[in-house]
Structure 1
Amino acid sequence: MVPIITLAAVTLLARLTGVIGVDALDWQTSLRIGFAAMFLVTGAVHFVPKFRDDMIRMIPEQLPQPAALVAVTGVLEIAGAVGLLIPATAPAAAIGLALLLLAMFPANVSAARRGVPLAGKPATPLGIRTAEQVLFIGLAVLAAL
């Protein structure tokens, strides 16, 4: 829920600043800023112990070195967030983040099927996880255009 709230709130705030003339931010630029905020948050929690341990448990058992995978995906999310804020790299960063979301989806499926909680909260059902991923990937494509 925090990623969606972060994405929506920061995107709308960025767009509002454009509407009132603080800066001429269009919807796409506002979306990129919202995505950057969301991925900074989600990337950072890969390194917070109470989240990290659960994320490690989310990794399907057949994948090697789950702790390393969690760290790498966290770094990639943060790097992608920074890339979204640089106009020259924003389209590539958005596509890279969409691909990263696709690559991480098996861990979400595994976590939902096994009931892996995240930071003490119950596991998110697979239908909700899938809808979130579809939303994020679709918006990432819009941010890349």
Structure 2
Amino acid sequence: MIPFYALIASFLLFRGVGLLGLQYWNDWQTALQWAIAVMLLLGASAHWGRRRPDLVRMVPPVFPGKEWIVTVTGMLEITGAIGLLLPAVSLAAAVCLVVLLTAMLPANIYAARNQLMIGGKPVPKLPVRLAIELVFIAAVLLASPLI
């Protein structure tokens, strides 16, 4: 839930700064791109911090190399966050982020169905988890140059 809250709070902050007159932040799409970057960087930090063992447990048993998967997805989140902010590659980054978020969905479903914990707190129930994932995907699509 923390990445979800970070997305909402940072979007409101960046958008508010734009409404106060800072020209760069005046565009809602730019504010959303930066908010997604904040969300992704925050989420990626868990891939190497205290929550790493929780993320490793989230990877369904059918997938080998759980540690490797967690490391790579963290690196891809960082890469996507940076890429989304660079106009030359933001479209490609958005497409890749949608693919990444979709690819990580089995871990989120597994975690919800098995009532796993992240940072000592239970993961959201499956309907909530799916809704959050759809919000993340929709945000990336709305922040992309396609819109």
Q: Give the structure-1-normalised TM-score.
A: 0.94
Match of residue 84 from structure 1: 84
Moved more, 9-18 or 126-135: 9-18
C-alpha displacement of 1:23: 2.3
Identify the residue that residue 67 of structure 2 maps to in structure 1: 67
Structure 2: segments with no counterpart, 5+ residues: none
Deviation at 1:105, TM superposition (A): 0.2
For residues 38-59 of structure 1, give each alpha carbon's deviation from its aligned partner in whole angstroms, at most 9, with x where no partner exists. Answer: 00000111100x3110111111
Q: Contact conserved, 1:59 with 1:107, CA < 8 A, in 2?
A: yes
Q: Which whole-Å deviations, capped at 9, do the CAs of 1:108-135 have from their partners, x for residues lacking one?
A: 1111111111111113211111000111
Partner of 2:137: 137
* Alignment: residue pair count: 144
- Name the SS for the 2:46 alignment partner: helix
The answer for the alignment partner of 1:32 in structure 2 is 33
Separation in 2, partners of 1:108, 1:141: 20
Q: Equivalents in 1 of 2:87, 2:28: separation in Å? A: 14
When structure 1 is superposed on structure 2, of 16-25 and 116-125 the one drifting more is 16-25
Aligned partners of 1:4 and 1:17: how far apart in 2? 20
Q: Find out whether 1:125 has 2:147 as its counterpart.
A: no
Instruction: Name the SS of the counterpart of 1:98 in structure 2.
Output: helix
Question: Alpha-carbon deviation of 1:64?
Answer: 0.7
Q: Name the CA distance, whole Å, in 2 between partners of 1:64 and 1:143.
A: 33
After TM superposition, which residue ranges in structure 1, 4 or more long, deviate above 3 angstroms? none
- What CA distance in whole angstroms lies between the structure 2 residues aligned with 1:44 and 1:132? 19
Unaligned runs of 5+ in 1: none
| Alignment CA distance shift 1:54-1:17 (3 Å) | same
SS, match of residue 61 in structure 2: coil
- TM-score normalised over the length of structure 2: 0.93
User: Percentage identity across aligned positions?
Assistant: 44
Q: CA RMSD in A?
A: 1.1
- 1:81, CA displacement in angstroms? 0.6
Mapped contact 1:6–1:37 kept (Cα < 8 A):
yes
